[in-house]
Structures are given as structure tokens and as C-alpha cells.
Amino acid sequence: MRNITADNITDAVLARFAGCDNPRLKEVMGALVRHTHDFIREVKLTEAEWLAGIQFLTQTGLKCTGQRQEFILLSDTLGVSMLVTAMNNQYPAGATEATVFGPFHTEVMPLAESGADIGGDAPGEPLFVNAQINGLGGEPVANAEVDIWQADDDGLYDVQRPELGDTRRARARMHTDAQGNLKFRTVVPTPYPVPTDGPVGAMLVATGRHPWRPAHLHFRIRAQGYSTLITHIFRAPDPYLDSDAVFGVRSSLIGEFVEHPAGTAPDGSRLERRHFTLDQQVVLAPA
Ligand code: BEZ
Ligand code: FE
């Protein structure tokens, strides 16, 4: 085909996929081309804007390292990650909802026994979490593998602090007991901005958006016979619950962080400062 025009170029590109023997790839690539061409037509993209877009994506790629995934951050801030999460994790009524994974999980986690202080020397007010993990039928989920990770009182994850080296804190891998229960001490999470020192931060500024996420604890729960659940528990009140930079808040995921004055903590220790408790029920959907 020659003399291709702005009117027939979409069909010309789609025709090139005729020989693709992977039907799913053909469907995805075809839709990508159709929607991209339609987007360009809709906004009447100029050549300068096309180049700015290419430069933005190039900078996004160049910002990526083993520890920094700027493309995932772009996906998160454009609502793409949450859309994919919501479409692919529709659990039956009664099951705990999923939300975004985020970039700060590490596959290698410090192992901790139930009752441990996983906060280590992370700055923050003491928080005692008592999590009960059940299946949809109310049965306790014993020996579930639970990854927990969170930001500290400065709004930073351990992996964002070069001074910590390989030391990990405010994250752990724990297992529920025979009754599906898990307890740990940590620090109260606070709101924090997503990383803004790259092209995604520039995009947020240019579009008049703030980079903040409401305070939360992350959980990934894996258990035989159940769907893996990747979720957060958010803390209220929080100024960003209705404007999360990555669109991850669900009302059902707001936990009750209860404040207690100085005194005896749930683990029997004596605390000279106020502390918080969180009793959290989690319900896993069947696999
Ligand atoms: C997080 O919750 O850790 C997170 C999620 C998306 C982007 C940045 C951080
Ligand atoms: Fe987070």
C-alpha cells in the first residue's frame, strides 16, 4: 500500500498484523494502534508535542534503575495500575479488596515471628497490629505468608534511605498461627509523596497535581487455596484519602487506628508515650 494518508494509515498499520499467529498479541497491538491513532487525531497532536512526548518517555526510561521504576510510577499516577488491579482482582462480596502494589516491596524480606517489633529503629509512634486472616466461609487461614512494608514517620521506606545500606526495617515476612492470627509492633505510617525528582514529578507539577499518598500499611498475603491478596490498610483521618496520587484508596480498606495514652502496651511493655493499636480483619477469596 502506497500514498498512505491520515485517513487510512490506521487500517494500513492494522493490516500489517494480519500474519501475527498469536491472537491475543494481535488483539492487544491492534487496539493499541487504534486508540493511539484516535488519541492523536482527537487532540490534533503537533510535531512539537509529539517530540515532547518522545522526550518525556525517554527521560522516564533513563530514570529507571534496579531500585527505581519510573514507568510503574507513571502507570500509577495515570491510574493505569489501579485500573489493571481493579479489573483483575474482583473478589466476591465479603472478601478484602485489593489495591496497588507500589514499587517498595522487596522479594527478600526479613523473617519475623508473630509478636515481633518489625519497626526496628524506624522513626515513628508505636503501633501494635493484631491481624486476623480468615477465608470467606469464616475459617481461619493458618500459616499464611504475610509480607508487610511501610513508610516511617518521615514518609520514607527503608529502601529510600541509602544510609541504611542493606539493613531492612518497617518491613517483614511473617506467618499466621493456627488460628489465622498475626501480631506485630511497628511505627504509625504517615502520608508521603511519591518520588518527584524525575519526569513523573515534573508531569505532576505541570498538570497541577500533588504527589501525596495517604498513610498506609502494605500487605501481600499468600496462602494455599486462596487468591493472593495485595492490599493496604489506610489510616484515617488523612488529608489525602480522597486525592491519593495513585488512586488506590477504598473505603473498606480504612482501618481503625486507636490512640492510647502512655501506659502498658498490648505486648506487656511499659510505654512512656502514647501509642496506637489496629485490630484488622482480612478475608481472603478462594483461589
Ligand atoms: C506505595 O504505596 O508504596 C506507592 C504506590 C505507587 C507509587 C508510589 C508508591
Ligand atoms: Fe506505600
Is 183 among the domain residues?
A: yes
Spacing, Cα 44 to ligand 2 middle (Å): 37
- How would you label 69-82 residue by residue, b for 16+ Cβ within 10 Å and e otherwise? bbebbbbbbeeebb
pLDDT one digit per residue (tens) for the chain, 287 residues: 789 999 999 999 999 999 999 999 999 999 999 999 999 999 999 999 999 999 999 999 999 998 889 999 999 999 999 999 999 999 999 999 999 999 999 999 999 999 999 999 999 999 999 999 999 999 999 999 999 999 999 999 999 999 999 999 999 999 999 999 999 999 999 999 999 999 999 999 999 999 999 999 999 999 999 999 999 999 999 999 999 999 999 999 999 999 999 999 999 999 999 999 999 999 999 99
Q: Is 102 in the pocket of ligand 1 (CB under 6 A)?
A: yes
Is 144 among the domain residues?
A: yes
Short-list 276, 234, 273, 265, CA closest to 252: 234
Is 76 among the domain residues?
A: yes
Contacts of 125 (CB under 8 A, 6+ apart): 153, 187, 188, 273, 274, 275, 276
Is 100 among the domain residues?
A: yes
The ligand whose atoms approach the alpha carbon of 155 most closely is 2
For atom 7 of ligand 1, the residue with the nearest CA is: 102
Strands 263-264 and 270-271: antiparallel
Is 224 among the domain residues?
A: yes
For atom 6 of ligand 1, the residue with the nearest CA is: 102
Is 62 among the domain residues?
A: no
Spacing, Cα 24 to ligand 1 middle (Å): 30
Centre a 10 Å sphere on the Cβ of residue 129 and count the other Cβ atoms it contains. Answer: 22
The ligand whose atoms approach the alpha carbon of 190 most closely is 2
Q: 3-class DSSP state for residue 280?
A: strand
Contact yes or no for 173/208 (Cβ under 8 A): no
For atom 1 of ligand 1, the residue with the nearest CA is: 102
For atom 8 of ligand 1, the residue with the nearest CA is: 194
Which of 72, 100, 210, 249, when mutated, tests ligand 1's pocket best, judged by the most ligand atoms within 8 Å of its CB? 100
Report the number of distinct structural domains present in the chain: 1
Extract the C-alpha cell encoding 156. Answer: 520514607
**Could you identify the atom of ligand 1 that is nearest to the CA of residue 232?**
2
Q: Is 215 in the pocket of ligand 1 (CB under 6 A)?
A: no
For atom 4 of ligand 1, the residue with the nearest CA is: 102
Contact yes or no for 70/221 (Cβ under 8 A): no
**Could you identify the atom of ligand 1 that is nearest to the CA of residue 246?**
6
> What is the CATH number for 80?
2.60.130.10
Domain range enclosing 114: 70-284
Beta strands in the chain (DSSP E): 126-135, 145-150, 171-175, 181-187, 192-193, 212-213, 216-222, 229-235, 254-255, 257-260, 263-264, 270-271, 275-284
Is 237 among the domain residues?
A: yes
**Could you identify the atom of ligand 1 that is nearest to the CA of residue 102?**
5
Spacing, Cα 286 to ligand 2 middle (Å): 26
Which of 148, 213, 217, 230, when mutated, tests ligand 1's pocket best, judged by the most ligand atoms within 8 Å of its CB? 213
- On whether the pTM is more than 0.85, the answer is yes
Q: Is 213 in the pocket of ligand 1 (CB under 6 A)?
A: yes
